[in-house]
Amino acid sequence: MPEFQLSPTAQQCVNVVLIWVGFGTLAGLLARSLVPGREPAGVVGTIVIGILGSTAGPLGLTYLLNQSDFNPISPLGFLAAIAGAFVLLTAYRVLLAIRRPVEEE
Protein backbone atom coordinates (compact mmCIF):
# COMPACT_ATOMS: atom_id res chain seq x y z
CA MET A 1 0.00 0.00 0.00
CA PRO A 2 1.54 3.33 -1.03
CA GLU A 3 2.25 5.86 1.69
CA PHE A 4 0.38 9.16 1.51
CA GLN A 5 2.83 12.06 1.49
CA LEU A 6 2.26 15.77 1.51
CA SER A 7 4.59 18.45 0.30
CA PRO A 8 6.63 20.06 3.09
CA THR A 9 4.52 23.23 2.89
CA ALA A 10 1.25 21.29 3.10
CA GLN A 11 2.59 19.20 5.99
CA GLN A 12 3.57 22.37 7.86
CA CYS A 13 0.05 23.79 7.34
CA VAL A 14 -1.53 20.59 8.63
CA ASN A 15 0.74 20.65 11.68
CA VAL A 16 -0.15 24.28 12.44
CA VAL A 17 -3.88 23.55 12.17
CA LEU A 18 -3.57 20.54 14.47
CA ILE A 19 -1.57 22.57 17.01
CA TRP A 20 -4.20 25.33 17.03
CA VAL A 21 -7.06 22.83 17.37
CA GLY A 22 -5.35 21.21 20.36
CA PHE A 23 -4.37 24.57 21.83
CA GLY A 24 -7.90 25.91 21.38
CA THR A 25 -9.48 22.79 22.85
CA LEU A 26 -7.38 23.09 26.00
CA ALA A 27 -8.10 26.81 26.26
CA GLY A 28 -11.83 26.22 25.78
CA LEU A 29 -11.98 23.48 28.38
CA LEU A 30 -10.09 25.59 30.93
CA ALA A 31 -12.27 28.63 30.20
CA ARG A 32 -15.34 26.41 30.56
CA SER A 33 -14.15 25.29 33.98
CA LEU A 34 -13.95 28.95 35.05
CA VAL A 35 -17.55 29.71 34.02
CA PRO A 36 -20.08 28.20 36.43
CA GLY A 37 -23.33 26.59 35.37
CA ARG A 38 -24.52 24.30 32.63
CA GLU A 39 -23.03 24.84 29.19
CA PRO A 40 -25.79 25.36 26.58
CA ALA A 41 -23.47 24.78 23.61
CA GLY A 42 -22.24 21.34 24.66
CA VAL A 43 -18.82 19.85 24.09
CA VAL A 44 -18.49 20.77 20.42
CA GLY A 45 -19.58 24.36 21.09
CA THR A 46 -17.06 24.65 23.91
CA ILE A 47 -14.29 23.42 21.61
CA VAL A 48 -15.29 25.84 18.84
CA ILE A 49 -15.46 28.74 21.30
CA GLY A 50 -12.05 27.66 22.63
CA ILE A 51 -10.52 27.65 19.17
CA LEU A 52 -12.01 31.07 18.41
CA GLY A 53 -10.83 32.35 21.78
CA SER A 54 -7.36 30.96 21.25
CA THR A 55 -7.21 33.12 18.14
CA ALA A 56 -8.91 36.23 19.53
CA GLY A 57 -7.06 36.31 22.87
CA PRO A 58 -3.50 36.35 21.52
CA LEU A 59 -4.52 38.77 18.75
CA GLY A 60 -5.93 41.14 21.36
CA LEU A 61 -2.84 40.78 23.50
CA THR A 62 -0.59 41.45 20.50
CA TYR A 63 -2.59 44.61 19.82
CA LEU A 64 -2.40 45.73 23.46
CA LEU A 65 1.33 45.00 23.81
CA ASN A 66 2.08 46.45 20.38
CA GLN A 67 4.65 43.72 19.72
CA SER A 68 5.06 42.10 16.36
CA ASP A 69 7.27 39.27 17.68
CA PHE A 70 4.76 37.88 20.22
CA ASN A 71 4.53 34.08 20.08
CA PRO A 72 0.92 32.94 20.69
CA ILE A 73 2.08 29.38 21.42
CA SER A 74 3.70 30.29 24.73
CA PRO A 75 2.62 30.42 28.39
CA LEU A 76 1.54 34.06 28.01
CA GLY A 77 -0.24 33.19 24.77
CA PHE A 78 -1.99 30.30 26.49
CA LEU A 79 -3.26 32.63 29.24
CA ALA A 80 -4.44 35.05 26.56
CA ALA A 81 -6.18 32.16 24.77
CA ILE A 82 -7.97 31.16 27.97
CA ALA A 83 -8.99 34.78 28.54
CA GLY A 84 -10.24 35.06 24.96
CA ALA A 85 -12.25 31.84 25.28
CA PHE A 86 -13.61 33.02 28.65
CA VAL A 87 -14.78 36.32 27.12
CA LEU A 88 -16.38 34.56 24.14
CA LEU A 89 -18.05 31.96 26.36
CA THR A 90 -19.43 34.65 28.66
CA ALA A 91 -20.65 36.73 25.70
CA TYR A 92 -22.31 33.62 24.22
CA ARG A 93 -24.17 32.97 27.48
CA VAL A 94 -25.26 36.61 27.75
CA LEU A 95 -26.59 36.54 24.19
CA LEU A 96 -28.49 33.34 24.92
CA ALA A 97 -29.96 34.88 28.07
CA ILE A 98 -31.15 37.89 26.08
CA ARG A 99 -32.69 35.75 23.36
CA ARG A 100 -34.34 33.27 25.73
CA PRO A 101 -35.50 34.94 28.93
CA VAL A 102 -35.87 32.67 31.95
CA GLU A 103 -39.46 31.67 32.57
CA GLU A 104 -40.78 32.79 35.93
CA GLU A 105 -42.51 30.17 38.03
Instruction: Please tell me the predicted confidence (pLDDT) of residue 104.
Output: 55
Q: Is residue 9 part of a domain?
A: no
User: What does residue 86 show for φ and ψ, rounded to 5 degrees?
Assistant: -60, -45
Flag whether 88 is in a domain: yes
Domain ranges, residue 74: 44-96
Overall average pLDDT of the 60-67 stretch: 82
Span 7-28, pLDDT tens digits: 889 888 888 888 888 888 888 8
Instruction: Give the per-residue pLDDT at 1.
Output: 61
Between residues 70 and 1, which one has the greater pLDDT? 70
How many angstroms separate the CA atoms of 48 and 28, rounded? 8
Nearest partner of 82 among 47, 57, 48, 46, judged by Cα = 57
Residue 48 inside a domain? The answer is yes
Of 3-12, 38-47, 79-88, the one with minimum mean pLDDT is 38-47
In a domain, 14, yes or no: no
At residue 94, the 3 state secondary structure works out as helix
For residue 62, is it within any domain?
yes
pTM of the model: 0.75
63 belongs to a structural domain? yes
What is d(CA 62, CA 81) in angstroms, rounded to the nearest whole number?
12
